[in-house]
Structure 1
Amino acid sequence: MSVPGWVQDAIFYHIFPDRFYNGDPDNDPPNVQPWGSPPTSWGFQGGDLRGILYKFDYLLDLGINAIYLNPIFQATSTHRYNTTDYYKIDPKLGSKDDFNALLEHAHRNQVRIILDGVFNHCGRGFFAFNDILENQEHSPYREWFHIKHFPVNAYSWGETTDYTGWWGMKSLPKFNTQNPKVRKYLMDVARYWIEQGVDGWRLDVPNEINDDSFWADFRQVVKADNPEAYIVGEIWEADSRWVGQGHFDGLMDYPVMKALVGLFASNTHEVALFAEKVERLLSYYPHENAFAMYVPLGSHDTERLLTRLGNNLDKTRLAFLFQFAYPGAPAIYYGDEIGLTGGKDPGCRGAFPWEELNWNSELRDYIKSLVSLRKQHPALRRGDYVRVENISNPTCYAFIRKTFEDQVLVIMNASATEQTVHIITYEIGWEEGRRLTDLIHPSMHTIITNHTIEVTLPAWEGVWLA
């Protein structure tokens, strides 16, 4: 099973559309909240597709080359996971012309866009479910969902006893994907947007459609139109099943995110345990899929990175240093690069503060340099991952990314105090007397002496040596 070659070189930027930028106030819904209001699960703030287009130079300056958009199809909520029309751009985000303009501008600048596909469930306003509400047992769509009994009441309080909703939610009726008509409808949706030029799908809760044949059909439909389309699944635990049988190219690598944040947040310095987790996670998947994982440090479903790390900027920088050296496609959740904070949903979905005085510009410049260096060094994108065993300090972690032409040694101090590290170079293969430079801080050098690399690192600091 081949995966798109471009994913290894991708640097994603994840946008929650309602909170990025309001480029067209004319499409704002009634009672739109002021930009920057405390985020709520129900209050729109007016972000839209034209806003992304207007701020595209910001994204290009950061250096990203791929965008993942949370749902953009017609829906009634800010998150839009309750789709009512899969073929229509939500008018609160703009028009199909606005989407086409964004997609064309992105492609003109060699930036790819993947969409959020919600195929397990829909909103109550979806035409087929609405027909059931109107016609009850006489509806021709009664087999499109998991109806337990009639009458169906989608707006009564309490659990969904009359039909199945995702996590019991009445607002999210679950599709009956065993129904051939439902399956055809969803496959047609997937095909349509690929035909429109989108570069792939991020699949919401695909494990809820626990049917290998459905996802095999989905892959066949998508790849038939664009073999280079990227299919990535939201699977929260490590599970090779989802990439091993013709399903997805990669998964959202939440396990490595949780391991990294856990290491930094706990202050237990269990570096060896973390290193073993990383190796185990990489070993779960075939090589090409491991290198096609979508690697986040946060998302619309988690606390923001800086918040999870106790507002510690040193830990935050080190987390990004690891992310951009790790196999897979690193993903920046909008605003994390400027130090945006926020707790769990809806706190993690705050509006982007466009006044630069509200940015942590130092953090943004640091991440921008990591983006640039990853682009410059093939080893950081496509190189094999090799853990360094001969390291003297148990609070430090080191690994190599290497190709035939390029090698980068990553060393991290995962402790709250300064640490000196000695690494024997035999397993690396670097010659005696070689002068190494930290790619991130080019004024820092070290020379291999007695087949040993010696580096002193401040607390929560790391280097990329080459």
Structure 2
Amino acid sequence: MLRSSIYHRPKNNFAYAYDEETLHIRLQAQKGDLQDVTLIHGDPYIWENGEWIYSTSSMKLVGSDDLFDYWQAIIRPPHARLRYGFICNDGKESLTYTERGFFEDVPTHCHYYFAFPFLNKIDVFSPPSWVKDTVWYQIFPERFGNGNPKLNPTNTLSWGETPTQSSFFGGDFEGVINHLDHLIELGINGIYFTPIFKAMTNHKYDTIDYFEIDPHFGDKETFKRLVDECHKRDIKIMLDAVFNHSGYYFEPFQDVIKYGESSKYKDWFHIAKFPLNPGNQLSYRTFSFEPTMPKLNTENKDVQNYLLEVAEYWIREFDIDGWRLDVANEVDHHFWRLFRNRVKAIKPDAYILGEIWHDAMPWLQGDQFDAVMNYRFTNAAIDFFAKKQTTVEQFQNELVHVLQSYPQHVNEVAFNLLGSHDTARILTVCEEDTNRLKLLYLFQLSFTGTPCIYYGDEIGMTGGDDPLCRKCMEWDENKQDLELFHFVQKLISLRQQSPAFSKGEFSFHAINESLVSYRKTLGDEELLIIINPTNRSLKVKFPTSFADSIDLWTNKHVSNDLMLNENEFVIMRKMK
């Protein structure tokens, strides 16, 4: 037995409260090393005749990546507290793994074991339940629709021209309102807007005033009408909060430029020396090395109060449903804890989403974010389906590792995107192969989490990195890929029709080394989804339990000797 690979740590993703009554306990071990694992568990205060009383439960192998197996048990401790350990069996020896190491015999005193001291209700991470049923649509407001030309900036270009990084096309709130039917037809029930507050650029990540709508988009009355119209259609609204940095023309920063060290706002920013130098040798910290985006000092009480009032204001006055937090990993954890408390106090089911491109467990412990933008999922899916750079095994290993990096209820509301204003258009990444994109959408919309579609991707828009990924929305149906639109529309409708398709427990199920196959299980419904991403036909033999199943995509019975052509898939459904 390879003892050095066996690992457990209480809390985080290895031991956590899934709800007010349930604990999930996980163990990591060398891939293929253990034949079975048994969980020893009991209340630390229940003893008889001088011996600790414990029970045992079999643990389930819930996933494997390239290095490790992951075992899990679900426990409902009757008294909300637990001591526990693991009996590890590799077929040659059986060892008990505890907080104090490995033992050949099962220790009889509970002090040897790992502890979950108490399942306190207030500590249970409870993300908004509505997010699990949401399909998001990201809108870059300047490029979605020009509904009120009177608001157009100077030198506005004609809709659809090739953009530069400084182009303006006149997109506004009226343009969004005018095209809500498109979103309803697609099946969207959540909109994520990139920044809408007053700023100099077309992207608005250089905020001038956090309490004002950018006049190129409209006014507060128009925005309120937009939110109301969306809510009438059961569409949630999430705004982009740029709290890591402000814009160069943010009034407090302008005050610092004007008054230097005597400015009352000097401690609002990270300034090394005066006077400020916006040249190559910056004397103040910024986002990246961008001199027009000075970094805010969120440890300063006045900055905290200002930004927390911003967070509260747009919920209180306009009833928005969530905040997406830009460059969230560069802001201190203390501020995000304050932020969560303020936001949840005014709207308990608000969705708090952080932009973090890497492992985000420190932000996902119930005291800061509900979720992060799941770029680890994004990169794995794109490398496999779009770029064809990885094997089925590598793809599956990477996603299992992602899933096991977080608690289950974190995964259930992870923000799964394929493209955004920061990346090349997904069809372009797919080398304009629509078949690859369709399989990507199938996987994205059936994977654990809440999916997001970048505006225009559903109709086959193309474009490289910024600014080409920010082209104007194509509203001429003759130039839209309507077949792709209807494909995505049907997948979204499956999420509404089949609870297992959208929210079922996910697990890969090996059938063929060239096929991607996985199960989705929820209640009495179980799905087996098989995807052929190759350029050849493959014969498929699936489990006998799925014999004569119905393919949800075609509503036809599927025989056990199934031939899947290139880029084909089946979604087999059975009821237990």
Short-chain TM bin: over 0.9
Q: Output the TM-score relative to the length of structure 1.
A: 0.94
Deviation at 1:460, TM superposition (A): 2.1
Deviation at 1:254, TM superposition (A): 1.0
Looking at structure 1, the residues matched to 161 and 215 of structure 2 have their Cα atoms a distance apart, in angstroms, of: 22
Deviation at 1:343, TM superposition (A): 0.5
| Residue 229, structure 1, aligned to residue 350, structure 2 | yes
Looking at structure 1, the residues matched to 148 and 383 of structure 2 have their Cα atoms a distance apart, in angstroms, of: 40
Looking at structure 2, the residues matched to 300 and 140 of structure 1 have their Cα atoms a distance apart, in angstroms, of: 36
Q: Mean Cα displacement is larger for which, 360-369 or 31-40?
A: 31-40
Preserved CA contact (<8 Å) 1:136 1:142: yes
Task: Give, as a single letter, the amino acid of the residue that structure 1 aligns with 2:558.
Answer: T
Q: Output the TM-score relative to the length of structure 2.
A: 0.76
List gaps (5 residues or longer) in structure 2: 1-124
Task: Give, as a single letter, the amino acid of the residue that structure 2 aligns with 1:198.
Answer: I
Task: Give, as a single letter, the amino acid of the residue that structure 1 aligns with 2:284.
Answer: Y
Preserved CA contact (<8 Å) 1:269 1:415: no
Counterpart residue number, 1:188: 309
The residue correspondences of 1:6-405 to structure 2 (distance < 5 A) are: 6-154=130-278, 157-159=279-281, 161-195=282-316, 196-209=318-331, 211-267=332-388, 270-389=391-510, 391=511, 393-405=512-524
| Residue 438, structure 1, aligned to residue 551, structure 2 | yes
Deviation at 1:346, TM superposition (A): 1.1
**What is the DSSP-based 3-state SS (H/G/I as helix, E as strand, rest coil) of the residue aligned with 2:541?**
strand
Preserved CA contact (<8 Å) 1:4 1:230: yes
Looking at structure 2, the residues matched to 306 and 110 of structure 1 have their Cα atoms a distance apart, in angstroms, of: 29
Preserved CA contact (<8 Å) 2:505 2:520: yes
Looking at structure 1, the residues matched to 388 and 449 of structure 2 have their Cα atoms a distance apart, in angstroms, of: 26
**What is the DSSP-based 3-state SS (H/G/I as helix, E as strand, rest coil) of the residue aligned with 1:244?**
coil
Aligned length: 448
Counterpart residue number, 2:568: 461
Looking at structure 1, the residues matched to 437 and 256 of structure 2 have their Cα atoms a distance apart, in angstroms, of: 49
Q: Mean Cα displacement is larger for which, 144-153 or 105-114?
A: 144-153
Counterpart residue number, 1:450: none
Moved over 3 A (4+): 265-269
Looking at structure 1, the residues matched to 541 and 548 of structure 2 have their Cα atoms a distance apart, in angstroms, of: 15
Task: Give, as a single letter, the amino acid of the residue that structure 2 aligns with 1:397.
Answer: V
Counterpart residue number, 2:528: 409
Once the two structures are superposed, residues 52-86 of structure 1 have per-residue CA deviations (whole angstroms, 9 ceiling, x without a partner) of 00111111111100000000000010110000000
Deviation at 1:290, TM superposition (A): 0.4
Preserved CA contact (<8 Å) 1:20 1:52: yes
Task: Give, as a single letter, the amino acid of the residue that structure 2 aligns with 1:94.
Answer: G
Once the two structures are superposed, residues 100-138 of structure 1 have per-residue CA deviations (whole angstroms, 9 ceiling, x without a partner) of 000001111111000011000010111100111121111
Looking at structure 1, the residues matched to 415 and 285 of structure 2 have their Cα atoms a distance apart, in angstroms, of: 30
Task: Give, as a single letter, the amino acid of the residue that structure 2 aligns with 1:63.
Answer: G
Task: Give, as a single letter, the amino acid of the residue that structure 2 aligns with 1:465.
Answer: M
Once the two structures are superposed, residues 364-402 of structure 1 have per-residue CA deviations (whole angstroms, 9 ceiling, x without a partner) of 01000001111111112221112213x1x2110111111
Looking at structure 2, the residues matched to 413 and 16 of structure 1 have their Cα atoms a distance apart, in angstroms, of: 34
Q: 1:268 to 1:139 in 2, by over 3 A?
A: closer
Task: Give, as a single letter, the amino acid of the residue that structure 1 aligns with 2:554.
Answer: H
Looking at structure 1, the residues matched to 444 and 154 of structure 2 have their Cα atoms a distance apart, in angstroms, of: 40
Counterpart residue number, 2:99: none
Looking at structure 2, the residues matched to 245 and 32 of structure 1 have their Cα atoms a distance apart, in angstroms, of: 45
Q: 1:238 to 1:410 in 2, by over 3 A?
A: farther
Preserved CA contact (<8 Å) 1:325 1:410: no
Preserved CA contact (<8 Å) 1:49 1:94: yes
Deviation at 1:239, TM superposition (A): 2.5
Counterpart residue number, 2:129: 5
Once the two structures are superposed, residues 206-235 of structure 1 have per-residue CA deviations (whole angstroms, 9 ceiling, x without a partner) of 0011x2211111111111111110011111
Looking at structure 2, the residues matched to 332 and 122 of structure 1 have their Cα atoms a distance apart, in angstroms, of: 27
Deviation at 1:350, TM superposition (A): 0.5
Looking at structure 2, the residues matched to 164 and 238 of structure 1 have their Cα atoms a distance apart, in angstroms, of: 24
Looking at structure 2, the residues matched to 334 and 364 of structure 1 have their Cα atoms a distance apart, in angstroms, of: 12
Deviation at 1:268, TM superposition (A): 5.2
Looking at structure 2, the residues matched to 236 and 460 of structure 1 have their Cα atoms a distance apart, in angstroms, of: 29
List gaps (5 residues or longer) in structure 1: 448-452
How many percent identity over aligned positions? 40
Deviation at 1:405, TM superposition (A): 2.5
Task: Give, as a single letter, the amino acid of the residue that structure 2 aligns with 1:441.
Answer: T
Counterpart residue number, 1:422: 541
Deviation at 1:455, TM superposition (A): 2.8
Preserved CA contact (<8 Å) 2:360 2:372: no
Looking at structure 2, the residues matched to 410 and 234 of structure 1 have their Cα atoms a distance apart, in angstroms, of: 30
Once the two structures are superposed, residues 140-180 of structure 1 have per-residue CA deviations (whole angstroms, 9 ceiling, x without a partner) of 001100111111244xx424x22111111110000011111
Task: Give, as a single letter, the amino acid of the residue that structure 2 aligns with 1:463.
Answer: V
Looking at structure 1, the residues matched to 362 and 203 of structure 2 have their Cα atoms a distance apart, in angstroms, of: 28
Cα RMSD for the two superposed structures: 1.3
